[in-house]
Amino acid sequence: MSWAVVYSRALAGMAAPLVEVEAHLANGLPAFSIVGLPDTEVKESRDRVRAAIIQSGFDFPAKKITVNLAPADLPKESGRFDLPIAIGILAASGQIDGTNLHQYELAGELGLSGQIRPIRGAIAMAEAARQHQRSFILPSDNAFQTALLPDAHVYGADTLLAVAAHLNQDQPLSPVDVQHIQQPDETNYPDMADVRGQQTARLALEIAAAGGHSILMSGPPGTGKSMLAQRLPGILPPLTAKELVSVWSLQSLLPHGQQKYRLNRPFRSPHHSTSAVALVGGGSDPRPGEISLAHHGILFLDELPEFDRKVLEVLREPLESGEIHISRAARQATYPAEFQLIAAMNPCPCGYLGHPVKPCRCTPEAITRYRDKISGPLLDRIDLIIEVPSLPASDLLQQANGENSSSIRERVRTARSRQYQRQGKINAQLSNRELDDIARITPEAKQTLASVMEKLSLSARSFHRILRIARTLADMNDIHDVEASHILRAISFRRAL
């Protein structure tokens, strides 16, 4: 046999398109060429593969070797094709049994000693292999990531020799066991009981958690805005099995040293010097940014006006669609971005506008420039806009006796279960058409909302934002219809800056 085909996977965003690694051996002067739109990393695999084959005790064929990565118009990057290329050469030269190769997909970077090193995107590739009913062989360091996938046949291998022994049926590899998801230790979260006062902000945070709403907190420095934001994960329900697979899939796309596989909901807090590319994602080979890494979790932007306005504007599309689309000259990628935006800001550059004791030193022009850094369309997409006032010394000196996170979390979980039973998703994810059908607003509430819309000149987007918050308030109180009191309460949580 002088020809063999090995199946592998490329990466295109969250997708893992199939790649057929064809190895052909022909007579002639010894040569080793790789075709099929490989990048530099793939071209360099020739030296890694040659050394790994020899160090594993096999003979490297002294023939003209051509490796084709099909389809030819799909860009191929990274060292994940080392293992399938090596196996293809060994099968084409008859050194291993290639009769069962059609049952497997392989991916892994080879060291010069034949060791298999970890790769990016293992979960996406294993899921694609599962859908095509093939077994997947990958590095052992990546194997635990795929343990969340039900019905996936995954094998972890440490060396090229171990893969060859498995294919020859001499020493089969052990399949990865599917793991049951353990709930995260809820005691590791910061507790809401530590927060003194700020009852309005606490209620707004509970509403945001119950309906998945975005929230902007404005107040002087040191009033507890960051403290409140850091406690939001502790009152959210744990990730479901499907959500955890999606979160881990995004983590697997990062470079190996940056991957963090946790059971907790993501909490991303980028610095205000973050660029638009870091927030959205991108690069010549598009990688997920902070927005996507906060998928099914929280994106906390502290000191919101300090971010560059162009950076903030990229939030507008994913806040509406729950996805982020990255287009480059040669590649495009789409990443999920269903995140909760939690933002905090000072009321003015010095921070003390409206403070009961400290005077504000800012001019009206400076205050206007500061607030204008946040555009109207972006503010229109934020559900809850609240003030976090400075607390008097008497409140700070009192012992913290607020409600703890576990009690709030149970109410949030109950409210969300009502939403899932009624519509299969949380209120923040309802489309405008779904909201019109599901909101169940009373005639009195309609009249109240129409009156407020006309008086405040609110946009159609603000109308639906208010209706979503009102629907969440009704769910929190286990009330079937949205009443006028819910509308008025929802409007009170959308104060103008």
State which of 407, 429, 451 marks the end of a domain: 429
Q: Is 12 among the domain residues?
A: yes
Q: Is the same domain home to 323 and 369?
A: yes
- CA pair distance 413, 409, nearest whole angstrom: 6
Q: Is the dihedral of CA 187, 192, 193, 195 positive or negative?
A: positive
3-class SS at 185?
coil
Bridge partners, residue 130, by sequence = none
Q: Is the same domain home to 129 and 209?
A: no
Q: Is the same domain home to 102 and 249?
A: no
Q: Is the same domain home to 335 and 200?
A: yes
Q: Is the same domain home to 278 and 395?
A: yes
Q: Is the dihedral of CA 281, 286, 287, 293 positive or negative?
A: positive
> Is residue 108 a contact partner of residue 13, using CB atoms and an 8 Å limit?
no
> Which residue is associated with the tokens 């990730």?
239
Q: Is the same domain home to 153 and 205?
A: no
State which of 429, 459, 478 marks the end of a domain: 429
Residue 350: which CATH number? Answer: 3.40.50.300
Q: Is the same domain home to 116 and 207?
A: no
Q: Is the same domain home to 202 and 328?
A: yes
Q: Specify the DSSP class assigned to residue 79.
A: G
- Listing DSSP states for 375-410 in one string gives -HHHHHT-SEEEE-PPPPHHHHHSPP-PPPHHHHHH
Q: Nearest 5 degrees, angle CA 370-CA 342-CA 320? A: 95
- Listing DSSP states for 291-334 in one string gives HHHTTTSEEEESSGGGS-HHHHHTTHHHHHHSEEEEE-SS-EEE
* Number of domains into which the chain is organized: 2
3-class SS at 161?
helix
- Count CA within 13 A, CB hemisphere, residue 21: 30
> Is residue 156 a contact partner of residue 176, using CB atoms and an 8 Å limit?
yes
Q: Is the same domain home to 232 and 363?
A: yes
Q: Is 358 among the domain residues?
A: yes
Q: Is the same domain home to 190 and 88?
A: no
Q: Is 155 among the domain residues?
A: yes
> Is residue 427 a contact partner of residue 475, using CB atoms and an 8 Å limit?
yes
Q: Is 55 among the domain residues?
A: yes
Q: Is the same domain home to 50 and 127?
A: yes
**Domain membership of residue 417 as a residue range:** 186-429
Looking at residue 195, what is its pLDDT? Answer: 82
User: Cα–Cα distances in Å, from 335 out to 130, 253, 277, 331, 340?
Assistant: 21, 11, 14, 13, 16
- CA pair distance 105, 28, nearest whole angstrom: 30
In order along its 497 residues, the chain shows pLDDT tens digits of 589 999 999 998 888 999 999 999 999 899 999 999 999 999 999 999 999 999 999 999 999 999 999 999 898 988 999 999 999 999 999 999 989 999 999 999 999 999 999 999 999 999 999 999 999 999 998 888 888 888 889 999 999 999 999 999 999 999 988 766 566 666 678 888 888 778 889 999 999 999 999 999 999 998 889 999 999 999 999 888 889 889 999 998 888 777 888 888 999 999 999 998 899 887 777 889 999 999 999 999 999 999 999 999 999 989 988 888 888 777 788 899 999 999 999 999 998 888 888 889 999 999 999 998 999 889 988 999 999 988 776 666 666 667 888 899 999 999 999 999 999 999 999 888 888 888 888 889 888 888 888 888 888 888 889 999 999 999 999 998 899 999 999 998 887 65
Residue 13: which CATH number? Answer: 3.30.230.10
> Is residue 299 a contact partner of residue 341, using CB atoms and an 8 Å limit?
yes
Q: Is the same domain home to 194 and 161?
A: no
